[in-house]
Amino acid sequence: MSQPKRALITGITGQDGSYLAELLLDKGYEVHGIIRRTSTFNTDRIDHVYVDPHSAEARLFLHYGDLTDGTMLRRILEQVQPQEVYNLGAQSHVRVSFDSPEYTVDCVGMGTLRLLEAIRDYQQRTGLEVRFYQAGSSEMFGKVQEIPQTETTPFYPRSPYACAKVFAHWQTINYRESYDLFACNGILFNHESPRRGETFVTRKITRAVARIVAGQQKKLYLGNLDAKRDWGYAKDYVKAMWLMLQQDKPDDYVVATNETHAISEFLDIAFNHVNLDWHDYVEFDPRYLRPAEVELLIGDSTKARQALGWEPSVTFEELVHLMVESDLEAIGIRHGNGAPSDIATIRKEMLHLAPQG
Ligand code: NDP
Ligand code: GDR
C-alpha cells in the first residue's frame, strides 16, 4: 500500500488552517500542523478532526512551533518530511499590525523567509521535493492602482501587515526562480466563514446581530463603513490553495469572487436577516479606523478559474446568512424554522423568503 501524502500547515488553528486540514484529511493526507504554546487551549477550530495520536486512526498531528523561531521550523520539517507545506500562519489583523509592526513583520515577512530557507536546505540535502504555498493577500494591492486587481496589478501596501506580505510574496518568487522550488503565491481576497476571528468586521457584525437578538448587546461600534471588499467563503478558498500545489508548474494566482460590496451592504443583509435595521444599533468609534485605509478591493480571478478550474460556490448574500445563522445557533437562538447553519439549508430558506412573482 502506498504511503499517504504528508502536508505541513502553519496557522492550522486559524480559520483557513482548520478548513484546509479538513480538506486534506478528506483527501487521505497525513496532516501536520504547527501550533503555538498557549496557557489555554487554542485548538477549538480543529478539535472535531483531532484524534488521539496514540490511536492507529490518527492522521492529524500537532507540533509546537512559531514562525519567529527558525530552529523549531527546521526541526519540524526534518521530523515531518512533508511533500507539501502551506504557510498560513500570521498575525493577520491589519489594524493590529499598526500597533505591533515589528512583531507582525517578523512573523509574516521573516517567518516566511525562515520557512523558505529551511525548505531550501532540506530539499537540497535530501533531494526530496517540497511544494510550498504562501498565503498572500489582496491587502498587498492596498491603494488602488487598477480595477479589478489581477496577478499583474502593481502592489501598493498600506499597512505593516501588507508590507510584510509583499516581502513574503517576492521571497517566494525568488526561491522559485533561484532554487527551483515549487513555490506558489495565492493572492487571496477576503474570505469569511462562521470560523472567522471575532475581531474581523464580518464576524464582528454577525456575532453582534446574534447578541443583540439575545439581548446581550445594545450597540455595535464600528470604524469606516465605506470600505469595499471582495468577500468569499473560506471553505472555497482553501480548495484553491490545494489546487495550486497539484499543477505541473508553480505559479501565482488571484483568488476572488470578482464582486465588491461595502460594509454597509453587509450590515443591511445581516440585520435584515433578523428583521432589524442596523442604523438603530451601529455607532461610530474612531478607534477602529486605520492610519491608512484600503478603500476598494475587487479581484479578477480569471486565471485561477481557467488554470485551476476553481470557482466560488457561495454568493455574498448566502455567506452573510450563513454567518448570522451560525452565530444565532452558537448563542442558543435558532432563527426562523430552526434551520441549522449549513449552506444547503440557507439556500432553501433564501428561496422561501425571496419575494414571489
Ligand atoms: P487567522 O488569523 O484566523 O489564523 C492565523 C493563524 O496563524 C493562527 O493559527 C495563529 O495561531 C497562527 N499564528 C499567528 N502568529 C503565529 C506565529 N508567530 N507563528 C506561527 N503561527 C502563528 O488567519 P486566516 O486563517 O484568516 O488566514 C490564514 C492566512 O491567510 C494568514 O496568513 C492571513 O494573513 C492570510 N490571508 C487571509 C485572508 C482572509 O481573508 N482570511 C485573505 C488573504 C490572506 P493562534 O491560533 O495561536 O493565534
Ligand atoms: P481586512 O479585514 O482589513 O480587509 O483584512 P477586516 O475585516 O479587519 O476589515 C475590513 C474593512 O472593515 C473596516 N472596518 C472594520 N474592521 C474591523 N476589523 N473592525 C471594525 O470595527 C471595523 N469597522 C470598519 C476596516 O477599516 C476595513 O476597511 C482581512 C484579514 O483577514 C487579512 O489578514 C487579509 O489579508 C485581508 O482580509 C485580505
- 10-residue stretch averages of pLDDT, the chain, 357 residues long: 92 98 98 96 96 94 98 98 98 98 98 98 98 98 97 98 99 98 98 98 98 97 97 98 98 98 98 98 97 98 98 98 97 64 72 51
On whether residue 171 sits in a domain, the answer given is yes
pLDDT recorded at residue 341: 64
The protein residue with its alpha carbon nearest to ligand 2, atom 25, reads 224
Q: What is the rounded CA–CA span in Å between residue 237 and residue 354? A: 28
CB contact set of 69 (below 8 Å; sequence gap of 6+) = none
pLDDT recorded at residue 352: 63
On whether residue 304 sits in a domain, the answer given is no
Place of cell 512559531: 66
The protein residue with its alpha carbon nearest to ligand 1, atom 20, reads 66
147 and 236 inside one domain = yes
On whether residue 1 sits in a domain, the answer given is no
Of residues 29, 32, 28, 26, the one with CA closest to residue 9: 32
- Enumerate the β-bridge partners of residue 296: 228
Atom of ligand 2 nearest to the CA of 294: 28
pLDDT recorded at residue 347: 74
CB 10 within 8 A of CB 36: no
On whether residue 285 sits in a domain, the answer given is yes
Distance 99 CA to ligand 2 centre (A): 15
pLDDT recorded at residue 333: 86
266 and 248 inside one domain = no
208 and 248 inside one domain = no
What are the residue ranges of helices labelled H in 185-229? 201-213
Q: How far is CA 356 from CA 211, 343, 346, 350, in A?
A: 31, 21, 18, 12
DSSP letter at 338 equals: T
pTM for the model: 0.96
169 and 220 inside one domain = no
- Residue 81 structural domain: 6-192+232-255
- The two beta strands, 191-192 and 60-64, are unpaired
162 and 207 inside one domain = no
> Which-ligand-closest: CA of 203?
2
On whether residue 80 sits in a domain, the answer given is yes
241 and 213 inside one domain = no
Q: How far is CA 18 from CA 65, 122, 235, 254, 263, in A?
A: 17, 26, 9, 21, 26
Total structural domains within the chain:
2
Place of cell 479538513: 22
Catalytic annotation, residues: 137, 139, 161
176 and 320 inside one domain = no
37 and 80 inside one domain = yes
3-state secondary structure at position 71: helix
92 and 179 inside one domain = yes
Amino acid code (one letter) for 324: V
Answer positive or negative: Cα dihedral of 143, 145, 147, 148: negative
On whether residue 308 sits in a domain, the answer given is no
Q: How far is CA 141 from CA 154, 155, 259, in A?
A: 7, 4, 16
User: Within a 13 Å sphere around the CA of 85, how many CA atoms are in the beta-carbon half?
Assistant: 32
Q: For 22-36, what is each residue's pLDDT tens digit? A: 999 999 999 999 999
On whether residue 105 sits in a domain, the answer given is yes
> Which-ligand-closest: CA of 134?
1
Of residues 266, 188, 264, 213, the one with CA closest to residue 14: 188
Q: Ligand 1 pocket test: which of 44, 66, 72, 92 has the largest number of ligand atoms within 8 Å of its C-beta?
A: 92
On whether residue 60 sits in a domain, the answer given is yes
43 and 149 inside one domain = yes
pLDDT recorded at residue 335: 52
Task: Kindly list the protein residues whose Cβ atom lies closer than 6 A to any atom of ligand 1.
Answer: 10-11, 13-17, 34, 36, 42, 66-68, 88-92, 107, 135, 137, 188, 190-191, 197
* Euclidean distance between the first and the last CA atom of the chain, given in angstroms as a whole number: 58
Distance 347 CA to ligand 2 centre (A): 26
Cα angle 123-63-30, degrees, rounded to a multiple of 5:
65
CATH number, domain of 319, equals 3.90.25.10
pLDDT recorded at residue 188: 98
> Is the peptide bond between 148 and the residue preceding it cis, with omega within 30 degrees of 0?
yes
Q: For 227-275, what is each residue's pLDDT tens digit? A: 999 999 999 999 999 999 999 999 999 999 999 999 999 999 999 999 9
22 and 146 inside one domain = yes
Task: Kindly list the protein residues whose Cβ atom lies closer than 6 A to any atom of ligand 2.
Answer: 92, 94-95, 137-139, 189-190, 199-202, 204, 222-224, 227, 229, 263, 288, 290, 293
CB contact set of 312 (below 8 Å; sequence gap of 6+) = 232, 233, 236, 257
pLDDT recorded at residue 152: 98
CATH number, domain of 125, equals 3.40.50.720
211 and 98 inside one domain = no
Distance 144 CA to ligand 2 centre (A): 16
CB 33 within 8 A of CB 63: yes
DSSP letter at 122 equals: H
